[in-house]
């Protein structure tokens, strides 16, 4: 039920195919407002959460599954909510003194006029506070483009994030369990990694491992793992960073339910370190759990 519904369906279809091939009894349930009834009717033992975006990635479905006592893959309610809310996530990272570009939140009713204060000199990045897959994201290089970019971002949610644009390399790190798998540079065709670029074959190049000095590479891996732990993420995630010309890394966002399609980043990084797509899916399934500790259930 989010702007990422199409990608969710692609992830779900890929995951269902792999698990079926490995002998699991798989039921594909498309998320809607009747989800609780459908889960109860289907007598689900464990949920592989293939949803991206609102409701599925922000803690809502996780909370439902906790109430129903159904084990599920990925992070729990709190980590999911923090990871999806870019503003909350920035605040958590800053509490842990983790580097992230200068930023500011734009309140829903805030007027964007001549007195609007930017967090840094242009260019800046404008994005919805709670969407993924680069939905509603714009790089603003001229002051006159700021208001249109914020208005566009607001169509995906009331809160908007404005942050300093870091010129340099787009680096992403896959996390599986307690391990940072590797760092990959993603080179986009055009201005940036838009939704269209991400999900159109041939519009991105992937450099594995990311072309960084050993010191910078190790720092990126360590920083991504710190970012994952800081928000309380579990099982798996993907952490996105920008690395500037001096090889200084800056955290951009964490995806607590990264895509698992044939074009997605995490499977590429897993394959680079010898983890096949099928093994990746089954490993994620094996880490499924209900997050409430024993004895806390009424």
Rounded distance between C-alpha atoms, residue 69 and residue 46, angstroms: 10
Rounded distance between C-alpha atoms, residue 284 and residue 296, angstroms: 25
* Tokens encoding 196: 């269209």
Asked if 68 and 211 sit in the same domain, the reply is: yes
Domain count, the chain: 2
pLDDT reported for residue 298: 47
**Active-site residue, selected from the candidate residues 59, 185, 259, 264:** 259
* Tokens encoding 85: 């809310």
Asked if 174 and 285 sit in the same domain, the reply is: yes
**Active-site residue, selected from the candidate residues 56, 80, 240, 265:** 240
Active site residue 133: yes
Domain assignment present for residue 298? The answer is no
Active site residue 279: no
Active site residue 199: yes
| 8, containing H or E segment | helix 5-21
**CATH no. for residue 147?**
3.30.1490.20
Active site residue 274: no
Domain assignment present for residue 77? The answer is yes
Q: pLDDT 10s per residue in the chain (298 long)? A: 777 788 899 999 999 999 999 999 999 998 888 999 999 999 899 999 999 988 999 999 999 999 999 999 999 999 999 999 999 999 999 999 999 999 999 999 898 988 899 999 999 999 999 876 577 899 999 999 999 999 999 998 889 999 999 999 999 999 999 999 999 999 987 665 455 555 556 668 999 999 999 999 999 999 999 999 999 999 999 999 999 999 999 999 999 999 998 789 999 999 999 999 999 999 999 999 988 655 554 4
245-282: b or e for each residue (b if 16 or more CB lie within 10 Å)?
Answer: eeeebbbbbbbbbbbbbebbbbbbbbbbeebebeebbb
Residue 152, domain extent? 103-164
Active site residue 154: no
Active site residue 102: no
**Active-site residue, selected from the candidate residues 238, 242, 264, 277:** 238
Active site residue 202: no
Asked if 259 and 285 sit in the same domain, the reply is: yes
Q: Is the dihedral of CA 139, 141, 142, 143 positive or negative?
A: positive
End-to-end C-alpha distance for the chain, whole angstroms: 31
**Active-site residue, selected from the candidate residues 2, 49, 133, 237:** 133
**Active-site residue, selected from the candidate residues 14, 80, 194, 255:** 255
Of 164, 188, 206, the domain-final residue: 164
pLDDT reported for residue 262: 78
Active site residue 253: yes
């Amino acid at each position: 039920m989010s702007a990422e519904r199409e990608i969710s369906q692609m992830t779900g279809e890929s995951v269902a195919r792999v698990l079926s091939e490995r002998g699991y009894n798989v039921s594909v349930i498309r998320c809607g407002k009747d989800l609780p009834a459908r889960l109860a009717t289907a007598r689900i033992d464990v949920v592989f959460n293939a949803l991206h975006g609102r409701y599925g990635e922000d803690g809502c479905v996780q909370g439902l599954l906790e109430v129903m006592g159904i084990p599920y893959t990925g992070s729990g309610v709190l980590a999911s909510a923090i990871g999806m809310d870019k503003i909350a996530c920035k605040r958590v990272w800053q509490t842990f003194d983790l580097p992230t570009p200068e930023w500011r939140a734009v309140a829903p009713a805030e007027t964007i006029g001549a007195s609007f204060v930017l967090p840094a000199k242009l260019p800046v990045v404008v994005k919805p506070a709670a969407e993924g897959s680069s939905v509603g994201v714009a790089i603003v290089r001229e002051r006159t483009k700021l208001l249109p970019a914020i208005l566009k971002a607001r169509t995906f949610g009331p809160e908007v994030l404005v942050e300093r644009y870091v010129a340099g390399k787009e680096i992403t790190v896959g996390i599986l369990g307690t391990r940072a798998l590797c760092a990959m540079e993603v080179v986009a065709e055009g201005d940036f990694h838009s939704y269209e670029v991400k999900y159109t074959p041939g519009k991105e190049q992937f450099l594995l491992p990311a072309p960084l000095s050993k010191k910078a590479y190790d720092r990126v891996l360590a920083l991504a793992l710190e970012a994952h732990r800081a928000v309380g993420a579990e099982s798996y995630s993907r952490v996105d960073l920008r690395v500037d010309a001096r090889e200084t890394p800056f955290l951009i966002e964490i995806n607590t339910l990264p895509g698992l399609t044939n074009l997605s980043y995490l499977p590429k990084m897993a394959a680079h370190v010898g983890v096949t797509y099928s093994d990746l899916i089954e490993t994620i399934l094996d880490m499924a759990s209900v997050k409430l500790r024993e004895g806390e259930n009424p």
